[in-house]
Amino acid sequence: MDVVRFLPAMPCRADFGSRFGGHPCSVFDVVSAVVWRCRTRAVMSDPEAPAALFFSANARRHVGAKQGYYGNCVTAQLVTEKSGTVAGGDVVELAKKIRDAKETIPDQFKDAEGGGLRRAATGPVLQDRYDMVIVSSWQNLGFDEVDLGSGRPARVTSRMRERPHFPALGMLPPCKGRDGANMLSVVVKEKHADAFLGELARFIDVINAV
């Protein structure tokens, strides 16, 4: 991927919750859904081609990790739909798909004889790594709460030493005193950058107008 940019903090309004049957939506669900749809609209050439979202998740509570355990204990989940479905979908419906995928994560650990993981492959088959975007979140790791004597950090970010092999989105804590999320993205090729940023801008304009 050729585009590495900080994107503006993504708004996540409480009124999304009313469309989730009264359940609150997470910043992760909404931001992932927005980027998934905007990116798919920008890069889609075939509405029948797959558009996949791959994300990591904390697995501590599913494997019985003891309180205070600080090592890595993660799993991953894949959500796949046709590009046309994602590009034309409602953000809330896409966020629901992501949330539903998160809720099935415990099922991965029910088959003890198989080493603890059980996965089901569904949806269209990926033919190209550009058909998938990988999302990781630093939202709840606590980096933004560290105080070494001069106060909490104004901003938390990561550093990519190499370009990822797949389109990737890093969801970072918001700047100090703000909400939402900051994003470090390497999600599109240069030829799709303007279209992607344009889709994001249109979405934010719609949200701000509500």
Q: Look up the CATH number of the domain holding residue 158.
A: 3.30.559.10
The pairing of beta strand 132-137 with beta strand 168-172 = parallel
pTM summary value: 0.79
1-55 pLDDT, tens digit per residue, is 544 444 544 544 445 555 555 566 788 898 899 999 999 999 998 999 999 999 9
- Residues whose CB falls within 8 Å of the CB of residue 12, separated by 6 or more in sequence, listed in order: 25, 27, 30, 31, 179, 180, 181
Give the range of the structural domain holding residue 127, as residue numbers without chain letter: 5-209
The H or E element that residue 86 is part of is: helix 83-87
Structural domain total, the chain: 1
**Average of per-residue pLDDT across 98-113:** 80
